[in-house]
Amino acid sequence: MITLGFESSCDETSVSIVKDGREVLSNEISSQIEIHRLFGGVVPEIASRKHVSSISPVLDIAMEKAGIGYEDIDLITATRGPGLIGALLVGLTAGRTLALALNKPFVGVNHIKGHICANYITHPQLEPPFVGLIVSGGHSYLIHVNDYVDFTLYGRTRDDAAGEAFDKVARAMGIGYPGGPIIDKLAKEGEPTYDLPRVWLEKDSYDFSFSGLKTAVLNELNIAKQKGIEIVPENMARSFQDAVVEVLVEKTYHLAYETGEKTIVLAGGVSANSALRKAMEERGEKEGFTIYYPDSILCTDNAAMIASAGYYEYHSKNRENIVYADPNLGLEKE
């Protein structure tokens, strides 16, 4: 089954053609990072306008690289949320319009479910059930994946998501955007010399909170500035990253033991973080768990994961084909 997917939830315009939910025939991504770097973050109106101008050329390239015609497509999907409303509408409108023109079925996809499905592309042998940790710029979720479309939500972010905290700390340190890759690189050269908090919340809570950690970093930076003390960026990056990773790893393994699952799957932009991957794998090796995470190109927003998620949604017996955009869509709503 050939699925055509559109992704435009934030600042990447992407179109992908995927066979049977797991084999990528093409996955084209037009990034806006250089545009938004000037502003230190994504500007929604600029992102929407760039999607409008990019989506048709990206579609053409994806179709050409896949080597198929529109008559070969069986299903069309697009991200319907969460994300920036203007950005979402571009990909969703393109997908629905094309589906109507070609008389093909259309499925609106939850972007967060797409992140999990990125692992099915990288690891064709992977099947549910398993414990999933989704960590991105806007979301942090800890879930039990019962099957391809049925998830049990155990934990979510209460304030700043993990990726959002990385970006805000990087901005405060003046080291650039996006913050995740920069902090990861600096941390490799640093030592955890700053005493930063690990936020566990209530006993046995699976929720996440990184706002207090971010504030602790800002306080360290302000105190150092007032006293004329030089901050060592590498050490601050390492201290901050260690605090994030420790909480993510500990809560994920806690859920794995509670559910009895021996497979842990990472997803989302922060799953590309080298320290998180290393900590998960080292503990997994010691305690008998198998760890999966997507190829780096599939950790960030891309249409291949959306096409994969749409494929499984389409084959679900309990599917509700909701196609309107929902910028606040989360796993809580499904």
Whether the domain at 2-116+298-333 and the domain at 128-294 fall into the same CATH topology: yes
- Quick one: average pLDDT of 155-174? 95
- The answer to whether residues 178 and 226 touch, using CB atoms and an 8 Å cutoff, is no
Q: Which of 8, 18, 97 is nearest to 53 (CA)?
A: 8
Structure tokens at 325: 């955009």
Question: Which carries the bigger pLDDT value, residue 284 or residue 319?
Answer: 284
Q: Which of 14, 13, 55 is nearest to 35 (CA)?
A: 13
**What is the CB neighbour count within 10 angstroms for residue 200?**
15
Beta 12-19 vs 2-7: how paired, if at all? Answer: antiparallel
What is the distance between the alpha carbons of residues 101 and 99, in angstroms, rounded to a whole number?
5
What is the distance between the alpha carbons of residues 64 and 26, in angstroms, rounded to a whole number?
9
Average pLDDT of the residues of the chain? 95
For residue 249, pLDDT over 80 is answered with yes
Residue 332: its pLDDT value, please?
Answer: 79
What is the distance between the alpha carbons of residues 291 and 328, in angstroms, rounded to a whole number?
29
What is the distance between the alpha carbons of residues 140 and 163, in angstroms, rounded to a whole number?
8
Architecture of domain 128-294: 2-Layer Sandwich (3.30)
Where do we find the tokens 């050939």?
2
Residue 318: its pLDDT value, please?
Answer: 67
Rg of the Cα trace of the chain?
20
Architecture of domain 2-116+298-333: 2-Layer Sandwich (3.30)
Whole-number Cα distances in Å, 123 to 4, 126, 151, 219: 20, 6, 19, 42
pLDDT digits (tens, 9 = 90+) for 253-297: 999 999 999 999 999 999 999 999 999 999 999 999 999 999 999
Residue 334: its pLDDT value, please?
Answer: 67
Where are the domains positioned within the chain? Answer: 2-116+298-333, 128-294
Q: Which of 27, 94, 63, 115 is nearest to 309 (CA)?
A: 115
Residue 33: its pLDDT value, please?
Answer: 87
pTM here? Answer: 0.94
pLDDT digits (tens, 9 = 90+) for 165-199: 999 999 999 999 899 999 999 999 999 999 999 99
Residue 51: its pLDDT value, please?
Answer: 96
What is the distance between the alpha carbons of residues 30 and 180, in angstroms, rounded to a whole number?
19
> Torsion angle, CA of 228/233/234/240, rounded to 10 degrees?
100
